């Protein structure tokens, strides 16, 4: 049962990150506003694309590790990748974004990812 919960949570998180990445690639300015630092009307296209590629890649790598290698590799991956939303939180705070988004979205995401890592290590 623990293994099923651990795999399901990790898979859902990785699929969600893939979805976010694809959202940044398809509608970058819309997704940037939800990120907490809105895009400038006349620029930022390259940076938003980088964010989309980064997130989509994180999601795909996480899914590949879960499917091909298993819980232990997936757990280490989730542990390390939890740093990304912490970095996003700092970016939002440093650039005057809403604290609610910084903590309620990015910090909360990091905590859930760490819970996923712990469950995978325990499975």
From CA 22, how far away is CA 31, in angstroms rounded? Answer: 10
Express each pLDDT in 6-40 by its tens digit.
Answer: 999 999 999 999 999 999 999 998 899 899 988 88
Q: Where on the phi/psi map is residue 36: left (φ > 0), alpha (ψ -120 to 50), or beta?
A: left
The model's pTM is 0.92
| Lowest pLDDT segment from 38-52, 62-76, 84-98 | 38-52
From CA 82, how far away is CA 9, in angstroms rounded? Answer: 14
Express each pLDDT in 102-122 by its tens digit.
Answer: 999 999 999 999 999 999 999
Domain of 30? Answer: 2-122
HSE of 104, CA atoms in CB hemisphere, 13 A: 8
From CA 91, how far away is CA 99, in angstroms rounded? Answer: 11
Q: How far is CA 118 from CA 55, 80, 96, in A?
A: 21, 12, 32
In the chain, the N- to C-terminal Cα span, in Å, equals 9
Tally of domains in the chain: 1
């Amino acid at each position: 049962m623990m293994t099923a919960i651990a795999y399901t949570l990790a898979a859902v998180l990785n699929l969600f990150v893939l979805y976010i990445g694809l959202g940044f690639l398809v509608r970058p300015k819309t997704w940037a506003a939800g990120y907490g630092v809105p895009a400038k009307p006349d620029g930022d296209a390259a940076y938003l694309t980088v964010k989309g590629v980064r997130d989509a890649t994180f999601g795909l790598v996480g899914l590949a590790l879960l499917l091909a290698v298993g819980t232990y590799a997936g757990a280490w991956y989730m542990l390390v990748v939890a740093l990304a939303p912490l970095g996003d939180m700092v970016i939002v705070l440093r650039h005057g974004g809403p604290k609610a988004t910084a903590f309620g979205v990015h910090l909360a995401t990091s905590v859930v990812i760490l819970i996923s890592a712990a469950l995978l290590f325990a499975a």
